[in-house]
Chains A and B, each alone.
Chain A
Amino acid sequence: MSHDPSDHDLRERFAALRREVEAHTPPLALPEAPLPRARPLPAWAAAAAVAALIVGALWLLRGTDGRGTPDLGQQLLASAQWIAPTDFLLETPGRELLRGVPGVGAGPDELIETNENRRRNES
């Protein structure tokens, strides 16, 4: 490193100080047999741990929701097949009569559209 000549005075002062300090520097006394500390986790190990956690979490989500109940997919399927408990109210008496159009001269039996009547009419 090139030194600024105008700093010569300061350099001399510091050199004298340094000589004096070095003359009174205590001998090196390293701490006695320090216990090795646990090293910080290497980056690859941390990444592997995170990946394992993600896989574990996905596996748990796939199997159960954590409370022993069926998984999300099964719950959605179940809700698609769900039937409202008030559906029976739509089962009105004589609703079969309303499905067929009554013909002229048709008896009450023929008003009820059955599979047999429909087949007979078609033929």
Chain B
Amino acid sequence: MIDLEAELERHHGAAFGWALSCCAWDRPSAEDALHAAYLKILDGSAVFARRSTFRTWLFGVIRRTAAELRRRRALARLLPLDRLAQRASTEPDPERAVIRSEASARLAAALAALAERQRALVHLVFYEDLSIAQAAAVLGVSVGTARTHYERAKRRLRDLLGEGDTR
């Protein structure tokens, strides 16, 4: 029997970074997604079936949960009342900012500009230090597809960071 709380504690730092990536580096959305994912795991809606490592599975749950929240928000944005509430809640809060250095802010902005799958792949490989095969398992795609997106993502990221001509 796996100790879920201990496992979540162990992977919390990486999970938060992954949630940020899934939410295009928006901290409030990432915290919501992470909380919802933990809730799913603890109440048994998401069950670890040991078909992969706990981290791979946890990242999959976070990715799906973030996508659900994103869809829900996109739907809610159609309502005018919600639009007002969202405007109030998206005020930047410097105290809660995750990234404070200019270099990291540039990287985060470049990552946010990538397509979702490309962002996920470079994050998993460079930030989480997963292999392309492990990243493919998290994203539920084939290794070949993951490799293609990964190469494109690297090129685009270098372009966005202004390093495209140096390579």
Contact = CB atoms under 8 A, between A and B. Distances in A.
Task: Decide whether A and B assemble into one complex.
Answer: yes
A30 B163 contact: no
B151 to A, nearest CB: 10
Contact of A10 (B8, B16, B126): B126
Given A7-B126, A31-B39, A16 B104 contact: yes
B98 A18 contact: no
Interface stretch (B41-49, B65-73, B82-90, B137-145): B41-49
B20 A30 contact: no
Nearest to B134: A1
A83 to B, nearest CB: 66
Nearest to B130: A1
A30 B42 contact: yes
B154 A26 contact: no
Most A C-beta atoms less than 10 A away, residue of B13, B101, B104, B161? B104
Interface residues of B, number: 38
B126 A30 contact: no
Interface string A9-48: 1110110111011101110111100111101100000000
A28 B35 CA distance: 9
Interface string B95-126: 00111110110011000000000000010001
Interface of B: 5, 8-9, 12-13, 16-17, 20, 31, 35, 38-39, 42-45, 47, 97-101, 103-104, 107-108, 122, 126-127, 129-131, 154, 157-158, 161, 163, 167
For the complex of A and B, the 4 pairs showing the least CB-CB separation, nearest first, are A14-B126, A34-B43, A37-B44, A28-B12
